Chain A
């Protein structure tokens, strides 16, 4: 497969569009948890019950899809029909969760053609409706997720109670069942050592800060995922408003840190950015940690206008494509970690060369 074709398949349609505030906010995600009445949650489900959940949801989706183009274009994928590598690629694209890929029985997902919508089936809950958009667009993401929820509700009976709201497997999701999150790139705040103060402050207002692959993952490439923790007692709109308020403040801090860096240590900053670009363009072995770090530097250089011949989308693309699942899919075979590091360096070099040619 040529690299061009591979990129076409590797990057979701929604990633190719620039969203609002996309120099700092890479993506916005809203996910809502729903469960069917009458059937036990996936954790307690027997084989026939798990299968019944998939069948019931599939039937509902087929009935309602004519009302919503994004559902019309979607496809139902059963986890049991995928190889480990294919599942891993879906995780790296954030279309399914690691736990759906690894431990689910009768796990499935309905994924839209542009990959902005993914409905996970039999994850922790019967349904997890997820919408992903570029830039800061949480309200729009919630609107779409909620409209899909309304359509599904016409065919399915969701477990709901006046007091506790939507009932979920885990008490941390009960009520609205909503988890809204944004992925933010904060290199200047990291360089100026301000994150150690900012992150605890964000946690104090009831939000969580994590690495890009969710719970327990490391913050690679100065990318952080900020999300709500509380799901009960506040409305979905309030939860989203709160999160947006905090994210806007983070953007402001990051911007002023960028401005300060460029005014007081521009040469050091330029050196760091171009050094990273040089390493990405010429090295032969690169582990993912270093790659993410260098890509973060270059991305900052692009956002600050220092580098003009590389598009900012190239960095977003590469941050996904250098993950282990993608690398192996590109290579067309399983690779051990050493082989992956070589493949990763090759892929980055080739992608950057492609960019120069199109100039």
Chain B
């Protein structure tokens, strides 16, 4: 059966709760059970590597000063990955990402976490062939945008228009790739 809480993953945790003689049965997936903070014998295997990892996440992200409105909107409690549904609470408890989009959802915790785990924040190894083209295009795009600004500043509008067309073409290409 599917977990009734998220409706996505199979329910693998089954338990009964007795409150004031009232018996209720629960069927949840591991994540939702963890989210509910249910402590069950045999479920939580005590100390594990991921507890240690999630410990590294238990710090406040660096937020911009004097921007309280923004802070409230981005408060970790309501943050949830739009693609896979992983919440900040789950992320900080289990110390794992749910999908590749989680990396942008939880972006603000990324650098400090990577620094603690790897002592580094920037990839320096293999780049897939596909991405290699994209990276070059993005690089070119940045350069063209700089040129565009310069031309506008110089009031060389004809050349600026040409550059603008090039930028548009590149952007289209990047989107379709």
Given contacts A44-B31, A167-B100, A169-B96, 13 further A-B contacts (CB under 8 A): A43-B31, A105-B10, A157-B130, A159-B100, A160-B130, A161-B123, A163-B121, A163-B123, A171-B113, A171-B114, A232-B114, A232-B124, A233-B123
Which one of B66-74, B82-90, B145-153, B166-174 is at the interface?
B82-90
* In-complex Cβ contact of A232 among B8, B103, B120 (8 A): B120
Asked if B46 lies at the interface with its beta carbon under 8 angstroms from chain A, I say: no
Sorted nearest first, the 4 A-B pairs with minimum C-beta distance are A233-B120, A165-B123, A159-B100, A44-B98
The majority secondary structure among interface residues of chain B is loop
Q: A residues near B, CB below 8 A?
A: 35, 37, 39-41, 43-47, 105, 146, 149-150, 153-154, 157-172, 174-176, 178, 215, 230-236, 239
B119 at the A interface (CB under 8 A): yes
Do B99 and A233 touch (CB < 8 A)? no
Tell me the complex Cα distance, A324–B165, Å: 68
A156 to chain B, nearest CB (A): 10
Which residues from chain B contact A215 at a C-beta distance below 8 Å?
A: 49
Interface of A is mostly: loop
- How many angstroms from the CA of A171 to the CA of B10 in the assembled complex? 25
Q: Does B13 sit within 8 A of A, measured CB to CB?
A: no
Interface membership of B41, Cβ < 8 A: no
Contacts of B114 in A (CB 8 A): 164, 171, 174, 232
Q: In the complex, are the beta carbons of A41 and B98 less than 8 A apart?
A: yes
CB distance from A168 to the nearest CB of B (A): 7
Q: Does any Cβ of A come within 8 Å of B161's Cβ? A: no
Residue of B with least CB distance to A170: B96
Given contacts A35-B100, A40-B83, A41-B98, contact A230 B119 (CB under 8 A): yes
Which residues on the A side are within 8 Å of B122 (C-beta)? 163-164, 232-233
Which residue of A168, A169, A172, A176 contacts B126 across the interface (Cβ within 8 Å)? A176
Assess the A164–B125 pair: CB atoms within 8 A. no
A243 to chain B, nearest CB (A): 14
Q: Which B residues are within 8 Å of any A CB, using their own CB?
A: 2, 8-10, 31, 49-50, 53, 83-86, 95-100, 103, 110, 113-114, 117-131, 135, 138
Q: How far is the CA of A35 from the CA of B103 in the complex (A)?
A: 13
When the two chains form their complex, are residues A44 and B125 in contact, meaning their CB atoms are under 8 A apart?
no
Say whether B117 contacts A172, CB under 8 Å. yes
Give the residues in chain A near B130, CB-CB below 8 Å: 153, 157-158, 160
Contact A153–B129 (Cβ < 8 Å): yes
Whether A176 pairs with B125 at a CB distance below 8 angstroms is: yes
Is the beta-carbon distance between B119 and A233 smaller than 8 angstroms? yes
A37 and B100 contacting across the interface, CB-CB below 8 Å: yes
Given A47-B10, A230-B118, A233-B123, decide whether A153 and B128 contact each other with a Cβ distance below 8 A.
Answer: yes
Chain B residues lying within 8 Å of A165, measured Cβ to Cβ, are: 123-126
The answer, among A160, A170, A239, for a CB contact under 8 Å with B128, is A160
- Are B126 and A41 in contact, with the CB atoms below 8 A? no
Give Cα distance in the complex from A17 to B132, angstroms.
Answer: 38
Residues of A within 8 A of B10 (CB): 47, 105
